[in-house]
């Protein structure tokens, strides 16, 4: 990463180094999302119930190993979807190629897996002539059932309710009717609606969190304020706001009494990396524990809140000249979480988030351009810590997913990115997307801060299969690849028609 | 030495011909609120106001700021940022100064929303984090805030007066001092004299093409430029009895913001609104679009469909060439050394069919994959069909025009249009699209477009 390069240069030069990439350098040099080819073969009964799944995942690993093994791991663990099935075989491999290095990208393997399993659910429904929503409803994991790795899901979240909420907000039944009428009366436009549902494991895979052994410090300052010291980096996702909120709530102090330390490794303990949607859920939980420990160290009981805390910290400093009082929060695995790295059996994640998305599109039959008319994202996230920030993560992730589904193509040219500039690597503008309608369902997760689960990455997973499903409804073809550029859709839609 | 006003304060400084306004603001005046996001006029992170209009500072040569009024994000007070903070308009913050500048401009010019949506106006500011809802709501909140429409901004310029030492410029910029020269004539006569003596000089005006990726294109720094932006006689446009006359410096935004253009020559407005977004429309000129001679030009097809004439001038006098005949081959024009495009004459005629389709990779900030402009004269029924991104130049499609002349009331079939187009265009595969797609889509645009309009007029 750019930070490592700057650090190496700084060590060699023995002075501070600032590294600035021009945008084309940035686009050419940073790692990309792994291209994937995924094949599903599924046995189902006449009602569409899954009997057996056989799934193959192959990732283009690019020229260097980078993070391919762990991206592949997350892709495989999610490959069977949020569905219950007794007989599952998942095989995955990442293949070295002479292409650009691929690495960590929002979703970390699951977006690719999600496109596979959700496209395949539509294929099953089509083959059996069943409603694709009904097929999903039938197969969604119920509490007490297990995932492909044998992880028992028992979180109290109602996955069918998540799906039904999205279907209701997206007015799917009504739209199917109005689209039929619209399509019959418009020569050059077709509309369609698509529905998907999926899951995303929150935090590091398997024993990752145990290995990280993360810590957070909460220091009582001489003036009675509390400084939270954690390694999590604010990059716009709201770490400073959320940590402030969590510490203030925990201690009953106003936000102004909380200081968030800059994550400089001289001053903060190792809280693990700012990745994997783990900051609010896992590190935030350590903020709470560190606050609890601080309260104990200044002689208070666990119920003490507000000015009592502030006064106790001040009093402690008056008695301990030039000493520091620091509460420590240290990661402890939730009970019952066991993961076997060799057999891939057990609890791959502490918990999963659940989601259902509905997309409505219009395809222009002149150009095969896809316009997103409406988008609904229903997310079960444990607990929303900050409405504006959480909504922003979902809307931003959805629009990034829309870009990936429709426009964003990393063109390979002899092992380099062939379009490393914003003129030719197309991301959506404000004119390309409708308002993204977000709704949250909350079933608190006891081991996340205030019940929260990591939500940053997983909104990206939904749009590719949701838009593909909507395009399928509009054009009566089944897109199996993204991005669904107009060139590709034209080829698909005109295949078999006279030239 | 140039003098300009930055955030209300006079600033005098020497600029290198290779410096962009963005470099001057960030590295000379220490006004680092303005960000560089792409260096090619795509992302809008460097949005500042130049004489009151939002522009991308990465595409403005610093010398063009002479005598002009520049406003940066530093000129906004904190109260103006508040609406954007509450709605989630910012995450990583890289786009935010540009977003706020465009948003505040909309807030100060709410009339623009009678013809444009907020989403269209904000399309020149790319954001990778928010998904735009927070930004749109931020602009709405700004519009609803009490300062709406008449803000008095406190002014503070950074720069020479500031106590901090100026920031070091990145090494790349130190290396880009080219051998080139920039001439800044004050009158057209002077410009034509210069061009007569400098046959290889490049005229520069809006710079929206010439400054793309400027810091990396060192060879471009060695060229000689004749800057046209002081030639006030080439500014703006006038409506004569039988024609619209566009000056050589007339911009897209000049036309977008003239309600008469929408009534009389709507395709000009339609094409202009699809050139980049406001930051590009405020700078890009119609004449520059012609002279850049890109097959993907957005302005040229509609001018050609309206039968425009190019007015050239040199020290030998004026010459007029129909735009139809202006292009010889890829990037080759019927222009002699020393000639300058000083204006365009667009006839005011009545059309019963007129439309323009631009097919870009997205809704705004897009280079055309393929496009077509079509007109039919109301009085004598003559067709003009003009394709872009489908041949080495923007060009009329005579075979299709002949087909339409015969077709009378019925839209030709797709197959017959594809056959006719095979004679008229020769699209290629490139990084933006495929020949096959361009060919097929051009036929489909014509087929469906004609079906709809011929049925309407029947």
CA A392 vs. chain centroid, Å, equals 13
A456 → chain B, closest CA residue: B129
Report the Cα–Cα distance between both ends of chain B, in Å, rounded: 64
pLDDT of residue A78: 98
Q: Do B440 and A490 touch (CB under 8 A)?
A: yes
pLDDT of residue B176: 43
Residues A314, A278: Cα–Cα separation, whole Å = 33
Q: What are phi and psi of B49, to 5 degrees?
A: -100, 130
Beta-bridged to residue A416, according to DSSP, are: A413
Q: Do B445 and A397 touch (CB under 8 A)?
A: no
Q: Do A435 and B133 touch (CB under 8 A)?
A: yes
pLDDT of residue B173: 45
**Residues in A 412-431 with any Cβ partner in B closer than 8 A:** 418-419, 421-424, 426-431
Q: Is B453 on the interface with A (CB under 8 A)?
A: no
* Strand (E) or helix (H) holding B66: none
Cβ pair A326, A218 in contact under 8 A: yes
What is the distance in angstroms between the Cα of B61 and the nearest Cα belonging to chain A?
19
Quote the tokens at residue B271.
Answer: 């094409």
pLDDT of residue B178: 53
How many percent of chain A have pLDDT more than 90?
95
Residues A493, B437: Cα–Cα separation, whole Å = 12
Q: Do B363 and A407 touch (CB under 8 A)?
A: no
Find where tokens 């304060």 sit.
B9
Residues A447, A40: Cα–Cα separation, whole Å = 34
Cα distances (Å, whole numbers) of residue A381 to A285, A455, A478: 15, 6, 31
Q: Is A490 on the interface with B (CB under 8 A)?
A: yes
Q: Do B452 and A188 touch (CB under 8 A)?
A: yes
Beta-bridged to residue A215, according to DSSP, are: A330
List the one residue out of B327, B328, B417 whose CA is nearest residue B372: B417
Report the Cα–Cα distance between both ends of chain A, in Å, rounded: 49
Residue B172, number of CB atoms within 10 A of its CB: 12
List the one residue out of A254, A329, A267 whose CA is nearest residue A292: A329
Q: Is B213 on the interface with A (CB under 8 A)?
A: yes
Report pTM.
0.96
Residues B211, B289: Cα–Cα separation, whole Å = 14
What is the distance in angstroms between the Cα of B452 and the nearest Cα belonging to chain A?
9
List the one residue out of A268, A271, A294 whose CA is nearest residue A281: A271
Query: Could you tell me whether strands A50-62 and A87-96 are parallel, antiparallel, or unpaired per DSSP bridges?
Result: parallel
A421 → chain B, closest CA residue: B38
Each residue of B265-298: b (16+ CB within 10 Å) or e? bebbbbbbbbbbbbbbbbbbbbbbbbbbbbbbbb
Cα distances (Å, whole numbers) of residue B209 to A422, B213, B275: 14, 9, 12
Nearest-CB residue to B129 (from A396, A428, A431)? A396
Cβ neighbours of residue B437 closer than 8 Å, sequence gap 6 or more: A486, A487, A490, B369, B370
Find where tokens 């992730």 sit.
A397
Beta-bridged to residue A72, according to DSSP, are: none
Q: Do A395 and B437 touch (CB under 8 A)?
A: no
Beta-bridged to residue A370, according to DSSP, are: A363
**Residues in A 70-129 with any Cβ partner in B closer than 8 A:** none
Q: Do A235 and B92 touch (CB under 8 A)?
A: yes
Per-residue pLDDT tens over the stretch A137-193? 999 999 999 999 999 999 999 999 999 999 999 999 999 999 999 999 999 999 999
Query: Could you tell me whether strands A436-441 and B53-56 are parallel, antiparallel, or unpaired per DSSP bridges?
Result: unpaired
pLDDT of residue B146: 66
Cβ pair A432, A404 in contact under 8 A: no
Residue A163, number of CB atoms within 10 A of its CB: 24
Q: Is A273 on the interface with B (CB under 8 A)?
A: no
Q: Which residues of A touch B430 (CB under 8 A)?
A: none
Cβ pair B296, B283 in contact under 8 A: no
* Helix count and strand count (H, E) for chain B: 17, 19
Cβ neighbours of residue A117 closer than 8 Å, sequence gap 6 or more: A40, A55, A78, A79, A80, A81, A83, A198
What is the distance in angstroms between the Cα of B363 and the nearest Cα belonging to chain A?
5
Q: Is A391 on the interface with B (CB under 8 A)?
A: yes
What is the distance in angstroms between the Cα of A298 and the nearest Cα belonging to chain B?
36
Q: Which residues of A touch B364 (CB under 8 A)?
A: 429, 431-432
Per-residue pLDDT tens over the stretch A467-483? 999 999 999 999 999 99
Cβ pair A430, B125 in contact under 8 A: yes
Our CA angle for B324, B328, B333, nearest 5°, is 85
Query: Could you tell me whether strands A436-441 and A370-380 are parallel, antiparallel, or unpaired per DSSP bridges?
Result: parallel
Cα distances (Å, whole numbers) of residue A82 to A79, A158, A462, B254: 9, 12, 13, 55
What is the distance in angstroms between the Cα of A280 and the nearest Cα belonging to chain B?
16
Q: Which residues of A touch B362 (CB under 8 A)?
A: 407, 426, 428-429, 431-432
Residues A449, A226: Cα–Cα separation, whole Å = 18
Q: What is the DSSP string of A416-438?
A: EES--STTTS----GGG-PPEEE
Q: Which residues of B touch A430 (CB under 8 A)?
A: 118-120, 122-123, 125, 127, 132, 135-136
Lowest mean pLDDT: which of A61-75, A308-322, A326-340, B163-177?
A: B163-177
* Helix count and strand count (H, E) for chain A: 14, 15
- Give the count of Cβ contacts less than 8 A between chain A and B: 154
Q: Which residues of A touch B359 (CB under 8 A)?
A: 367, 369, 486
**Residues in B 225-254 with any Cβ partner in A closer than 8 A:** none
Q: Is B444 on the interface with A (CB under 8 A)?
A: yes
Which of B133, B209, B443 is the mutation pick for testing A, counting most A CBs within 10 A?
B133
Cβ pair B114, B262 in contact under 8 A: no
Q: Do B132 and A400 touch (CB under 8 A)?
A: no
List the one residue out of B275, B277, B283 whose CA is nearest residue B301: B275
A48 by Cβ neighbours in 10 Å (0-12 / 13-18 / 19+) ranks as buried
Q: Is B441 on the interface with A (CB under 8 A)?
A: yes
A407 → chain B, closest CA residue: B361
Beta-bridged to residue A216, according to DSSP, are: A329
List the one residue out of A294, A289, A279 whose CA is nearest residue A226: A294
Q: Which residues of B touch A188 (CB under 8 A)?
A: 448, 451-452
Cβ pair B34, B158 in contact under 8 A: no
Residues B123, B137: Cα–Cα separation, whole Å = 14
Look at phi and psi of residue A451 and say left if phi exceeds 0, alpha if psi is from -120 to 50, else beta: left
Residue B144, number of CB atoms within 10 A of its CB: 10
Q: Do A490 and B129 touch (CB under 8 A)?
A: no
Residue B390, number of CB atoms within 10 A of its CB: 28
List the one residue out of B348, B257, B270 whose CA is nearest residue B306: B348
- Give the side-chain half-sphere CA count within 13 A for A472: 23
Cβ pair A362, A373 in contact under 8 A: yes
pLDDT of residue B389: 96
Q: Is B455 on the interface with A (CB under 8 A)?
A: no
pLDDT of residue B147: 59
pLDDT by residue, tens only, chain B of 458 residues: 899 999 999 999 998 888 999 999 999 999 999 999 999 999 999 999 999 999 999 999 999 999 999 999 999 988 888 899 899 999 999 999 999 999 999 999 999 999 999 999 999 999 999 999 999 999 999 999 865 444 444 444 444 444 344 455 554 444 445 556 899 999 999 999 999 999 899 999 999 999 999 988 988 988 999 999 999 999 999 999 999 999 999 999 999 999 999 999 999 999 999 999 999 999 999 999 999 999 999 999 999 999 999 999 999 999 999 999 999 999 999 999 999 999 999 999 999 999 999 999 999 999 999 999 999 999 888 999 999 999 999 999 999 999 999 887 788 999 999 999 999 999 999 999 999 999 999 999 999 999 998 877 65
**Residues in B 141-170 with any Cβ partner in A closer than 8 A:** 170
Q: Is B357 on the interface with A (CB under 8 A)?
A: yes
Q: ipTM, 2 decimals?
A: 0.96
Nearest-CB residue to B362 (from A421, A432, A436)? A432
Largest CA distance in chain A: 90
Q: Is A486 on the interface with B (CB under 8 A)?
A: yes
Which of A359, A402, A409, A429 is the mutation pick for testing B, counting most B CBs within 10 A?
A429
Nearest-CB residue to B448 (from A187, A400, A435)? A187
Cβ pair B70, B21 in contact under 8 A: yes
Find where tokens 């030639």 sit.
B231
Q: Give the residue with greater pLDDT, A309 vs B18.
A: A309
A241 → chain B, closest CA residue: B91
Q: What are phi and psi of B121, to 5 degrees?
A: -65, -30
CA-CA-CA-CA torsion sign (A216, A221, A224, A225):
negative
Per-residue pLDDT tens over the stretch A413-459? 999 999 999 999 999 999 999 999 999 999 999 999 999 999 999 99
Find where tokens 């300009």 sit.
B4
pLDDT of residue B457: 66
3-state secondary structure of B110: helix
């Amino acid at each position: 990463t750019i930070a490592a390069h700057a650090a190496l240069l700084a060590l060699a030069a023995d002075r501070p180094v600032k590294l600035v990439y021009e945008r084309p350098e940035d686009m050419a040099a940073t790692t990309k999302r792994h291209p994937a080819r995924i094949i599903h073969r599924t046995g189902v009964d006449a009602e569409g119930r899954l009997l057996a799944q056989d799934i193959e995942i192959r990732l283009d690993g690019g020229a260097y190993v980078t993070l391919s093994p762990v991206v592949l791991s997350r892709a495989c663990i999610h490959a069977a979807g949020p569905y219950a099935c007794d007989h599952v075989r998942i095989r995955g491999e990442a293949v070295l190629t002479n292409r650009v290095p691929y690495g960590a990208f929002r979703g970390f393997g699951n977006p690719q897996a999600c496109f596979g399993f959700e496209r395949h659910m539509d294929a099953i429904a089509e083959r059996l002539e069943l409603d694709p929503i009904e097929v999903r409803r039938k197969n969604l994991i119920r509490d007490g059932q297990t995932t492909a790795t044998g992880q028992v899901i028992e979180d109290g979240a109602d996955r069918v309710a998540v799906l039904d909420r999205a279907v209701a907000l997206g007015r799917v039944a009504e739209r199917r009717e109005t689209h039929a009428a619209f399509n019959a009366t418009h020569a050059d436009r077709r509309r369609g609606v698509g529905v998907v549902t999926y899951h995303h494991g929150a935090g590091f895979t398997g024993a990752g969190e145990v290995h990280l052994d993360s810590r957070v410090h909460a220091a009582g300052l001489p003036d009675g304020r509390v400084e939270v010291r954690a390694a999590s980096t604010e990059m716009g996702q709201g770490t400073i706001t959320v940590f402030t909120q969590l510490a203030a709530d925990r201690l009953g102090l106003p936000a102004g009494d909380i200081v968030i330390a800059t994550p400089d490794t001289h001053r903060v303990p190792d809280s693990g990396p700012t990745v994997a949607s783990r900051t609010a859920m896992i590190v935030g939980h350590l903020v709470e524990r560190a606050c609890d420990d601080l309260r104990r160290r200044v002689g208070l009981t666990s119920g003490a809140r507000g000015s009592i805390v502030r006064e106790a910290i001040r009093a402690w400093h008056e008695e301990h000249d030039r000493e520091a009082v620091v509460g420590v929060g240290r990661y402890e695995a939730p009970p019952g979480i066991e993961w076997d790295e060799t057999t891939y059996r057990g609890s791959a994640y502490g918990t999963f988030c659940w989601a259902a998305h509905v997309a409505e599109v219009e395809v222009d039959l002149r150009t095969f351009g896809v316009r997103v008319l409406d988008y609904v994202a229903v997310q079960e996230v444990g607990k929303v810590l900050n409405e504006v920030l959480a909504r922003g993560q979902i809307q931003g992730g959805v629009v990034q997913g829309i870009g990936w589904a429709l426009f964003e193509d990393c063109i390979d040219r002899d092992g380099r990115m062939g379009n490393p500039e914003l003129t030719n690597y197309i991301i959506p503008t404000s004119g390309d997307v409708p308002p993204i309608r977000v709704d949250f369902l909350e079933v608190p997760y006891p081991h996340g801060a205030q019940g929260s689960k990591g939500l940053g990455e997983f909104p990206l997973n939904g749009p590719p299969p949701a838009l593909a499903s909507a395009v399928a409804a509009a054009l009566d073809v089944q897109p199996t690849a993204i991005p669904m550029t107009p060139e590709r859709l034209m080829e698909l839609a005109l295949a078999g028609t006279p030239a | 030495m140039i003098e300009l006003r930055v955030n209300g304060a006079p600033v005098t400084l020497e600029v290198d011909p290779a410096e962009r306004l963005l470099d001057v603001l960030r590295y000379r005046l220490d006004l680092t609120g303005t960000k560089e996001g792409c260096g090619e006029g795509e992302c809008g992170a460097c949005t500042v106001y130049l004489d009151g209009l939002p522009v991308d500072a990465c595409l403005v040569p610093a010398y063009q700021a002479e005598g002009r009024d520049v406003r940066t994000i530093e000129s906004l007070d904190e109260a103006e940022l508040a609406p954007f903070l509450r709605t989630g308009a910012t995450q990583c913050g890289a786009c935010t100064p540009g977003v706020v500048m465009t948003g505040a401009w909309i807030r100060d010019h709410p009339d623009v929303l009678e013809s444009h949506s907020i989403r269209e106006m904000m399309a020149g500011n790319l954001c990778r984090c928010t998904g735009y809802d927070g930004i749109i709501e931020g602009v709405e909140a700004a519009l609803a805030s009490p300062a709406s429409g008449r803000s008095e901004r406190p002014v503070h310029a950074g720069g020479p007066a500031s106590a901090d030492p100026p920031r070091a410029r990145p090494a790349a910029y130190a290396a880009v001092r080219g051998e080139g020269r920039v001439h800044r004539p004050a009158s057209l006569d002077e410009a034509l004299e210069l061009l007569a003596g400098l046959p290889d000089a490049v005229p520069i005006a809006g710079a929206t093409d010439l400054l793309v990726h400027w810091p990396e294109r060192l060879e471009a720094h060695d060229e000689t430029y004749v800057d046209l932006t002081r030639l006030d006689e080439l500014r703006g446009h006038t409506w004569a009895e039988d024609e619209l006359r566009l000056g050589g410096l007339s911009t897209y935004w000049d036309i977008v913001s003239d309600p008469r253009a929408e009534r009389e020559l709507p395709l000009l407005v339609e094409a202009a609104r699809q050139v980049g977004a406001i930051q590009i429309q405020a700078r890009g000129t119609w004449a520059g679009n012609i002279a850049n001679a890109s097959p993907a030009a957005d302005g040229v097809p509609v001018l050609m469909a309206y039968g425009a004439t190019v007015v050239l001038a040199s020290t030998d006098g004026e010459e007029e060439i129909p735009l139809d005949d202006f292009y010889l081959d890829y990037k080759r024009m019927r222009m002699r050394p020393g000639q300058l495009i000083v204006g365009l004459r667009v006839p005011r005629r009545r059309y019963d069919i007129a439309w323009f389709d631009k097919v870009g990779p997205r809704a705004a900030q897009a280079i055309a994959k393929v496009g077509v402009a079509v007109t039919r004269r109301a009085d004598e029924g003559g067709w003009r069909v003009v394709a872009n991104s489908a041949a080495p130049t923007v060009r009329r499609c005579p075979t299709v025009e002949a087909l339409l002349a015969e077709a009378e009331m019925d839209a030709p079939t797709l197959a017959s249009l594809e056959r006719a187009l095979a004679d008229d265009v020769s699209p290629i595969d490139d990084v933006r699209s495929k020949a096959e797609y361009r060919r097929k889509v051009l036929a489909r645009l014509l087929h469906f477009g004609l079906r709809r309009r011929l049925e309407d007029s029947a």
